[in-house]
Amino acid sequence: MKNNSQHPKPEDGEKRKLKKPVICYPNETIKIDRWSDYQIARKNLNKIDEIIIPPRDAKCFEVKAGNFFRIESIDGPQVGDLNLFNLGNYDEKFYSGKTRALHGTHLSSKDQMWSSFPYLRPLVTITYDTLDWYGFDQDGGSVHDVIGTRCDPYTKNLLSNDQYHFCCHSNLTRALVKEKKLEQKEAESLVHDVLNVFMCTGFTNDTHQYFMKASPVRPGDYIEFFAELDLLGVLSACPGGDCSAEHSSDTATCYPLKVSVFNSNSNVLKDWESPLISKYNRSHGI
Ligand SMILES: [Zn+2]
């Protein structure tokens, strides 16, 4: 809702606006039982795979349940758009909106990325984030958001009439077609709202519009995840580069991103098991 109201404020309007906000989804009951074990395990990592994501492109990677992966800035500040799926069932995929409702607009250490209905379980737990110092800045901005969707050629065309083929939506689709041998239509329908890795975003104070600003990420920075299930990840190196000026074009300077996959030499998690799907009985009152 913008400042284009057609109605005068009612007499008690100000009073109605002074009601106290209530957190929609208090999340204190979500416990990460093995958090301290994750922290022990992550100190003894052994790299087993490495994938370089070229600028303005995307690649797939797989991570076994119980292993870790990192997304790292290498050559220069660069934003990434991440999709996650249950490796054995692509119907179970990252649910950005519910993750936002549970953890807030931006993610960091100890937050989890939740899967779609009817599964609703953590796909990953974020175990380390070198940008956790950033917090929120004076503009209300922060990093690793779940408020943007992913840059895409439909919105680009809506706003400027262009045909641009290297938005994150297209990059993610192309990676699924090329690497997973999916039909284009099926691949595109699997692409979902992302975790905007390293992207610095917020809502403006006046109109509450989605904004971006130069990512604070620097080479060597990384965000690290513990895989709660066997995962398929797809990561796009956004055409917006550090997203300091514009995206959905070839204008910005772009850099590659690195995904590293690790197992742990520690046996502290040897009795650990993947989380179960939601216990809701799915009867829906029918
Ligand atoms: Zn993008």
272 found inside a domain: no
158 found inside a domain: yes
C-alpha triplet 142, 147, 151: angle, nearest 5°: 105
Tens-place pLDDT, residues 84-143: 999 999 999 999 999 999 999 999 999 999 999 999 999 999 999 999 999 999 999 999
pLDDT at 254 over 80: yes
pLDDT at 1 over 70: no
Specify the pairing of strand 195-203 against strand 231-237: unpaired
Q: Give residue 5's pLDDT.
A: 87
Distance 172 CA to ligand 1 centre (A): 10
Distance 145 CA to ligand 1 centre (A): 12
pLDDT at 3 over 80: no
Distance 171 CA to ligand 1 centre (A): 9
62 found inside a domain: yes
> pTM of the prediction?
0.96
Q: What percent of the chain stands above pLDDT 70?
A: 99
Reported as a pLDDT band with limits 50, 70 and 90, residue 248 is confident
Distance 84 CA to ligand 1 centre (A): 16
29 found inside a domain: no
276 found inside a domain: no
Distance 151 CA to ligand 1 centre (A): 4
Tens-place pLDDT, residues 48-93: 999 999 999 999 999 999 999 999 999 999 999 999 999 999 999 9
33 found inside a domain: no
Q: Give residue 2's pLDDT.
A: 65
237 found inside a domain: yes
| Residues spanned by the domain of 66 | 47-264
257 found inside a domain: yes
In 31-183, which residue ranges form alpha helices assigned H by DSSP?
A: 35-41, 96-103, 153-160, 168-180
Distance 86 CA to ligand 1 centre (A): 22
User: Cβ distance 187 to 173 under 8 Å?
Assistant: yes
Average of per-residue pLDDT values in the chain: 96
Distance 211 CA to ligand 1 centre (A): 13
Distance CA 171, CA 174 (A): 5
Q: Number of folded domains in the chain?
A: 1
